[in-house]
């Protein structure tokens, strides 16, 4: 394990950062890479960018290590939604085909599928199920394999699911789901925004057709960056959605208009990319993810979460705990008091956590130290104590929680 060094993670000088599921702080090498490229463009325009021509290639190589795959299967994207849009709109659906997803997915993994209803495709949603060790009183929890089996039909072409749910932190068992999909000829598409960089993920081994992820959470990259994995077979199925010079083999031979898309995932980097941002993501992977390794990162995050679980005041916080195979980097807790207020008050005291959909999400990364965990937990435990007039959270009282999203009209009984 590398040193949890404030020179590598300057955020440590500001406080304890436990919101890696939201927008992560940049490690110093990422900021340096970003400003280096921006400075170079400032001085010399496109001539200044020329030395960085290989950035995307280097980034693909680094990302391929992350996915344990060939660099040809990886592309740089700007965010998760961009990649999901290229999949959903390029997929050869036929009228009456079905997509299976979960009722509480993040928008990046919902709207692209909803768009397909215009093509006569049915979006079938897995209902929420109480898959945690304790009730979540109306807050989103997770989904079950029984429902996956029950709601799959001979028209199901694709399952679109988050590796980790952004609300409760419920992680899909991708090995089991991948096996299920392979046996039935279903394409498994995974939103890994909340897992890539914190959990191991091996698409080739788990029969995953495609993975989309944003770069600014567990990968420590800047906003405006993301990664997109596709298997070779799946890529061949997808029609083109976004096209431009960079997606074609002839590249900057701009007046050669022959239709020759790259057979590799480079095809999805359809046009001019933000070089400075890609350089920063590359630097983050090289400095803060790959040298530690995904397996070590995952185990260290779970160890730090166990420290939190041991010390968090049960009179104020009820953690949502899952079986080992469904554990993730997000430790969501039901709070006695309003989580938004807790988030703001904690930030004032130098502890950065994230409130989302009724939960407070605690998300340490491998760089979080034991001392920081203890500092954060004592601030959180203290918060409820000194403000007894705060509004109680309905989920805490078991009376059900903030407005549940309206069930989608295609939800199955
Ligand atoms: C599960 C999940 N997917 C995707 C995203 C981000 O989507 P995008 O990269 O399109 O902004 C988030 C952000 O919170 C998320 O939690």
> What burial class does residue 388 get, using C-beta atoms within 10 Å of its C-beta: 0-12 exposed, 13-18 middle, 19+ buried?
exposed
Q: How confident is the model at residue 411 (pLDDT cuts 50, 70, 90)?
A: very low
- pLDDT interval class at 292 (50, 70, 90): very high
Q: Is 108 in the pocket of ligand 1 (CB under 6 A)?
A: yes
Tell me: the pLDDT tens digits for 259-289?
999 999 999 999 999 999 999 999 999 999 9
What's the rounded Cα separation, in Å, for the pair 268 and 403? Answer: 38
Domain residue extents for the chain: 10-26+293-397, 36-289
Measure CA of the first residue to CA of the last residue in the chain; give whole Å: 48
Distance (Å) from CA 17 to ligand 1 centroid: 19
Q: Is the CB of 193 under 6 A from ligand 1?
A: yes
| pLDDT of 229 over the 70 cut | yes
194 lines ligand 1 (CB under 6 A): yes
Q: What is the pLDDT of residues 109-119, one digit of tens each?
A: 999 999 999 99
Task: Tell me what pLDDT residue 395 has.
Answer: 76
Q: How many whole angstroms from its chain centre is CA 98?
A: 24
Q: What's the rounded mean pLDDT across residues 293-297? A: 98
What per-residue confidence (pLDDT) applies to 396?
73
| CB of residue 354 inside a 6 A radius of ligand 1 | no
Residue 69 confidence class, pLDDT cut points 50, 70, 90: very high
Say if residue 412's pLDDT is above 80.
Answer: no
Q: Rounded mean pLDDT of 372-379?
A: 98
| Architecture category of domain 10-26+293-397 in CATH | Alpha-Beta Complex (3.90)
Residues 6+ apart with CB under 8 A from 259: 248
Residue 387, pLDDT score? 54
> CA–CA separation, 340 vs 206, rounded Å?
37
If one counts every other C-beta atom within 10 angstroms of the C-beta of residue 176, the result is 13
- Distance, CA 21 to ligand 1 centroid (Å)? 9
DSSP 48-117: HHGGGTTHHHHHHHHHHHHHTS-GGGEEEESSHHHHHHHHHHHS---TT-EEEEETT--GGGTHHHHGGG
Q: Do domains 10-26+293-397 and 36-289 have the same CATH topology?
A: no
Number of residues that this document lists for the chain: 413
Q: Is the pLDDT of residue 136 over 50?
A: yes
CA of 213 to the centre of ligand 1 (A): 7
- Tell whether domain 36-289 is in CATH 3.40.640.10: yes
51 alpha carbon – ligand 1 mean position (Å): 32
pLDDT for 106 equals 98
Residue-level pLDDT at 386: 53
What local confidence, expressed as pLDDT, does residue 399 receive? 63
β 16-17/210-214 pair status: unpaired
Region label for 268, one of left (φ > 0), alpha (ψ between -120 and 50) or beta (otherwise) = alpha
Residue with tokens 């760089």: 367
Q: Whose CA is nearest to atom 12 of ligand 1?
A: 193
């Amino acid at each position: 394990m590398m040193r949890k060094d404030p020179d590598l993670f300057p955020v440590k000088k500001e406080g304890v950062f436990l919101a890696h599921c939201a927008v992560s702080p940049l490690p110093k090498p990422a900021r340096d890479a970003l400003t280096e490229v921006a400075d170079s463009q400032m001085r010399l325009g496109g001539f200044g960018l020329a030395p960085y021509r290989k950035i995307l290639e280097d980034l693909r190589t680094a990302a391929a290590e992350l996915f344990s795959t060939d660099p040809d299967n990886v592309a740089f994207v700007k965010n998760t939604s961009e990649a999901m849009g290229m999949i959903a709109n390029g997929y050869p659906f036929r009228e009456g085909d079905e997509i299976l997803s979960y009722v509480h997915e993040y928008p990046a993994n919902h709207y692209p599928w909803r768009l397909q209803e215009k093509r006569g495709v049915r979006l079938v949603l897995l209902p929420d199920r109480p898959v945690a060790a304790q009730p979540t009183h109306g807050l989103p929890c997770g989904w079950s394999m029984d429902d996956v089996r029950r709601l799959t039909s001979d028209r199901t072409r694709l399952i679109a699911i988050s590796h980790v749910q952004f609300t409760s932190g419920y992680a899909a068992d991708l090995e089991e789901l991948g096996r299920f999909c392979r046996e039935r000829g279903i394409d498994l598409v995974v939103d890994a925004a909340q897992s890539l960089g914190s959990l191991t993920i091996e698409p080739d081994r788990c029969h995953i057709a495609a993975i989309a992820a944003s770069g600014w959470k567990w990968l420590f990259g800047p906003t405006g960056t993301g990664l997109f994995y596709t298997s070779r077979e799946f890529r061949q199925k997808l029609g083109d959605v976004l096209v431009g010079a960079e997606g074609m083999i002839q590249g900057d031979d701009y007046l050669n208009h022959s239709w020759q898309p790259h057979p590799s995932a480079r095809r999805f980097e359809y046009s001019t990319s933000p070089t400075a941002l890609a350089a920063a993501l590359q630097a983050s992977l090289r400095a803060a993810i790959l040298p530690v390794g995904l397996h070590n990162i995952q185990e260290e995050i779970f160890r730090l979460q166990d420290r939190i679980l041991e010390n968090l005041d049960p009179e104020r916080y009820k953690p949502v705990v899952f079986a080992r195979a469904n554990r993730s980097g997000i430790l969501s807790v039901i709070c006695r008091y309003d989580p938004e207020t807790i988030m703001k008050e904690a930030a004032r005291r130098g502890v950065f956590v994230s409130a989302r959909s009724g939960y407070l999400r605690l998300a340490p990364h491998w760089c979080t130290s034991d001392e920081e965990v203890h500092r954060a937990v004592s601030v959180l435990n203290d918060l409820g104590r000194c403000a007894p007039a705060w509004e109680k959270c309905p989920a805490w009282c078991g009376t059900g929680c903030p407005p549940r999203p309206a069930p989608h009209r295609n939800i199955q009984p």
